[in-house]
């Protein structure tokens, strides 16, 4: 430990001992201690208040021992490196554990992190393993969501590519666009961008109730490409695809990849890790 860091810790300890003369000082500030106590009252209840058993369940990768939602709540309660170092100095050699929930929890975390048989790599490693366990519990639902979302996009793409009505509409839109731009540099286009479809939707005729170019092309295409039935068949997968956000899918897939890597790392430290449908 660097000399400056050690001196800082000793200074903090001296202030705490002076302020709490005759009493055991806390390892974190009162507001955080209160929040920890409130959350622990719920999380530790299934374990009859046994904080060691709570931590064992959090680190077990047993999907039935502690839910992903519970682990999401537990993660922020874990001590920081500074809080853990202070708790180790304050409570590490204590004959009896601290009575207050936050202090007792910090002492239990430090004891688990310092247990050589667990091979956790300290409090930082314990925090990482709890986060990994939370991700593992959420993984089956996340994987199902990625599968459903990507499936909706593939179905919409396949439907669009195979739709005669859509192909006819695009051909008619290209013909109409070239007619409108006849005599200009854009009058002999071989294609168009999707963004230009928005402009065609706002370009309306002065007859027939102000029908837009896009509506006209779509109506004509339906007559040639299968009518309303063809449009309905394409509409359902397209509507499902619109509810999918590709960015969310990418982030979810990346998180699953990180979780798989972390689980493999956990397996190398403590043997094979099995979780629900995951065996690494």
Element (H, E) at 274: strand 274-275
What contacts 15, CB < 8 A, 6 or more positions away? none
Distance from C-alpha of 129 to C-alpha of 121, rounded to nearest angstrom: 10
Distance from C-alpha of 223 to C-alpha of 217, rounded to nearest angstrom: 10
What contacts 272, CB < 8 A, 6 or more positions away? 279, 280
Q: Which residues pair with 204 in a beta bridge?
A: 212
Distance from C-alpha of 152 to C-alpha of 244, rounded to nearest angstrom: 8
- pTM of the model as a whole: 0.59
In angstroms, how far apart are the furthest CA atoms of the chain? 95
Distance from C-alpha of 87 to C-alpha of 24, rounded to nearest angstrom: 11
pLDDT tens over the chain, length 280 residues? 455 555 555 565 555 455 544 455 567 888 999 999 999 999 999 999 999 999 999 988 776 788 889 999 999 999 999 999 888 888 876 656 677 899 899 999 999 998 888 888 889 989 988 988 888 888 888 889 999 999 999 999 998 888 777 777 778 778 877 887 787 877 788 877 777 777 777 777 776 667 777 777 767 666 665 555 666 677 788 889 989 998 999 988 888 888 888 777 665 444 444 433 333 3
């Amino acid at each position: 430990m660097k000399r400056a860091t050690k001196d800082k810790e000793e200074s903090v300890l001296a202030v705490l001992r002076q302020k709490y003369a005759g009493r055991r000082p806390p390892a974190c500030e009162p507001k955080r201690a209160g929040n920890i106590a409130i959350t622990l009252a719920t999380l530790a209840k299934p374990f009859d208040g046994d904080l060691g058993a709570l931590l064992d369940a959090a680190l077990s990768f047993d999907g039935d021992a502690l839910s992903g939602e519970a682990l999401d709540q537990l993660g922020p309660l874990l001590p920081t490196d500074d809080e853990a170092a202070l708790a180790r100095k304050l409570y590490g050699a204590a004959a009896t554990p601290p009575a207050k929930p936050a202090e007792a929890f910090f002492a239990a975390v430090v004891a688990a992190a310092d247990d050589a048989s667990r091979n956790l790599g300290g409090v930082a490693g314990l925090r990482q393993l709890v986060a990994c366990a939370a991700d593992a519990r959420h993984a089956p639902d996340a994987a199902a969501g990625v599968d459903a979302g990507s499936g909706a996009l593939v179905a919409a793409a396949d439907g669009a590519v195979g739709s005669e009505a859509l192909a006819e509409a695009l051909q008619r839109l290209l013909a109409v666009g070239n007619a409108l731009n006849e005599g200009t540099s854009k009058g002999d286009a071989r294609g168009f961008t999707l963004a230009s479809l928005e402009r065609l939707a706002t370009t309306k005729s002065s007859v027939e109730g102000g029908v837009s170019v896009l509506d006209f092309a779509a109506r004509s295409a339906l007559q040639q490409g299968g009518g309303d039935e063809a449009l309905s068949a394409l509409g359902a997968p397209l509507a499902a695809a619109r509810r999918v956000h590709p960015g969310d899918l990418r982030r979810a897939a990346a998180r699953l990849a990180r979780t798989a890597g972390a689980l493999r790392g956990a397996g190398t430290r403590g043997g094979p890790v099995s979780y629900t449908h995951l065996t690494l």
